[in-house]
Amino acid sequence: MIQSIKISRFLTLTTLLVSTVMLSSCGSSKEITRTRHTPSTSTENKKPDTQKPKKVEVVEVDEKEYPPIKSPTGIKDVSNNLVSEKKDLYRVKIIMPITSSSHSTSNALDDEFVQYYAGMRMALEEAQRNNLNLVADIVDIGSQNVDQIIKNELSNNIDLVVGPYSKNDVEKLETYCKKNQISFISPWRTSSKIAEKDPYYMQIQPNIKERYYKMINHIANNYNPDEVVIVSRDTIADKNLLHYLDEISKSNFKTKGEQPIQKFQVNKDTLSQGLFAFEDLFEKGKKVFVFPQYKFEDEDFLYNSMRRMAVEKQNNTVKVYGLPILKDSEKISYDYYSALNMHIVVSEFVDQDNPEVVDFRRRFFNEYGAIANSDAMEGYDLMGYVILGLERYGKNFQFSIEDKVYNGIQTKIKLMKRYNDDEVNEDYENFDYYENGHLDIISFIDGKFRIID
Q: What is the pLDDT of residues 22-53, one digit of tens each?
A: 544 333 332 223 433 333 323 333 333 333 33
244-268 as b/e: b if 16+ CB within 10 A: bbebbbeebbeeeeeebbebeebee
| pLDDT band with cut points at 50, 70 and 90 for residue 260 | confident
Two domains, one topology: 13-206+352-438 and 209-346: yes
* Mean confidence (pLDDT) of the chain: 80
Please state the domain extents for the chain. 13-206+352-438, 209-346
In the chain, % of residues over pLDDT 70: 76
Q: What is the pLDDT of residues 321-349, one digit of tens each?
A: 999 999 999 999 999 999 999 999 999 99
- The pLDDT of residue 22: 53
Question: Has domain 13-206+352-438 been given CATH number 3.40.50.2300?
Answer: yes
Angstrom distances, CA of residue 385 to CA of 187, 243, 408: 12, 35, 8
Instruction: Give the lowest-confidence range in 96-105, 204-213, 417-426.
Output: 96-105
| pLDDT band with cut points at 50, 70 and 90 for residue 399 | very high
| pLDDT band with cut points at 50, 70 and 90 for residue 142 | confident
| pLDDT band with cut points at 50, 70 and 90 for residue 274 | low
CB 288 within 8 A of CB 262: no
- The pLDDT of residue 80: 52
CB 184 within 8 A of CB 200: yes
- The pLDDT of residue 81: 67
The identity of residue 394, as a single letter, is: G
The helix/strand/coil state of 325 is helix
| pLDDT band with cut points at 50, 70 and 90 for residue 144 | confident
DSSP, residue by residue, 400-449: HHTTPPEE-SSBEE-EEEE-SSSS----TTS--EEEE---EEEEEETTEE
Centroid of chain to Cα 284: 37
pLDDT at 170 over 70: yes
Identify the top-confidence range among 14-28, 105-119, 334-348. 334-348
CATH classification code of 209-346: 3.40.50.2300
Q: What is the pLDDT of residues 294-312, one digit of tens each?
A: 999 999 999 999 999 999 9
